[in-house]
Amino acid sequence: MQDHRSPAREFAAFPASGRPLRVVDHDGVVTVEAPGGEAVGFALSRDGGTLRPTSAPPADPAAFRDAMLAALEAVFAWSPERETVAVEAAGCEAGLDVLVASGVLARDDGRLLARADTLMQQPALWLARGDASPFPERFVLTGDRRHPLRRPKPAGVVYARHIPWLGETLTFRTATVEDDLDAFHRWMNDPRVAAFWSESGDLAHHRRYLEGLIADPHMVPMIGAFDGVPFAWFEIYWAKENRLGPFYDADDYDRGWHVAVGEASRRGGASIGAWLPSLVHFMLLDDPRTRRIVGEPAASHVQQIRNLERSGFARLKTFDFPHKRAALVSLSRERFFADRLWLPASSREAAAPAEAASPLPLAGAA
């Protein structure tokens, strides 16, 4: 007898609780499993539009919240074109109230609806520190720049996201001299990276560079990794006190970035479609007061700017740094979530092999 069942679909979620969750769908029977914990079951309608809890909620309300969030993230990832999913609340109304209060679910004509754009603004799903309150606002001076005092720098993994079209997990973690000097040294001496960064040099030079960034309160140096294998160097900065600040009307919480993709195998479109929107996603989640992400690529790098525009960035103007002529690019928080820019720029870009894709090796490079 022929088996007409669909292959199982799997997904991984990384809530702030620190316990990775495995989500499996067998023909509409969705199970969320935690290491050493009880599984939580759901039923997913055939069209993927309705999710219903089928098992008793765990005794720990936080565990049920994490399971529901993981299930919703998986459903939207499996059906990226879907904007809403209805949630049936029979028997677990109390457990869902907290999701209504946090904006994950909204009451609509007697139904509970989850929206993809509001789910993607829930830091507890991707940030290691979860949905901690924004850092209290107090203004300070750095030289002649008045800006909010910044949160102390994090340590370790700060963001994790499962990338379904790659079947891999992308993480960003803060860089350290002890763990990352050798990789940084190798990447900065790669001719393709050196052509944009102009930071080639010996190990002592790169040690000083890393130590300077780690000590700078407005910069967060990070390592990007797929399934734990490092591939890129990122520098996240607060624009107000950055060298970019005087060249435009910087908001107090604007964020910017530089990147060097050190591993050649990760310089193609399929990887870019994962790390670029995820990097923007991280910066927007890290502080809800961040309304805009900015960058300053070399004005002569036409392909780079074209790729940034395809990813949602707008080119605002061209200006002169002391060391280069640059283009100011910007992406608003509203557009990122309203236009679902956490997804790849195109299905072609998501599906194409890395070596065949249009290259964007150094998006946002210094």
What is the per-residue pLDDT for 3? 43
Q: Are 135 and 149 in contact (CB under 8 A)?
A: yes
Please report the domains of the chain, with CATH numbers, ordered by start residue.
9-124 (3.40.630), 130-356 (3.40.630.30)
Length of the chain: 366
39 residue type, one letter: A
What is the per-residue pLDDT for 100? 93
* Residue tagged 């720029």 (tokens): 345
Residues 6 or more apart whose CB falls under 8 angstroms from that of 54 comprise 29, 41, 42, 43
Distance CA 298, CA 320 (A): 10
Q: What does residue 365 show for φ and ψ, rounded to 5 degrees?
A: -65, 150
Q: Report, as residue numbers or ranges, the catalytic residues.
A: 296
Distance CA 249, CA 154 (A): 28
What is the per-residue pLDDT for 302? 86
The pTM for the full model equals: 0.91
Segments of the chain assigned E as strands:
9-13, 21-26, 29-33, 40-44, 50-53, 84-87, 105-108, 111-115, 139-142, 145-148, 157-163, 168-174, 219-226, 229-238, 255-261, 292-295, 314-320, 325-332
Distance CA 250, CA 256 (A): 11
Burial class of 300 by CB neighbour count within 10 A (0 to 12, 13 to 18, 19+): exposed
What residue ranges of the chain have pLDDT lower than 50? Answer: 1-5, 347-366
| DSSP helix/strand/coil, 179 | helix
252 residue type, one letter: D
What is the per-residue pLDDT for 366? 46
Per-residue pLDDT tens digits for 65-87: 999 999 999 999 999 999 999 99
What is the per-residue pLDDT for 346? 58
What is the per-residue pLDDT for 6? 67
What is the per-residue pLDDT for 110? 82
Neighbours of 320 (CB within 10 A): 10
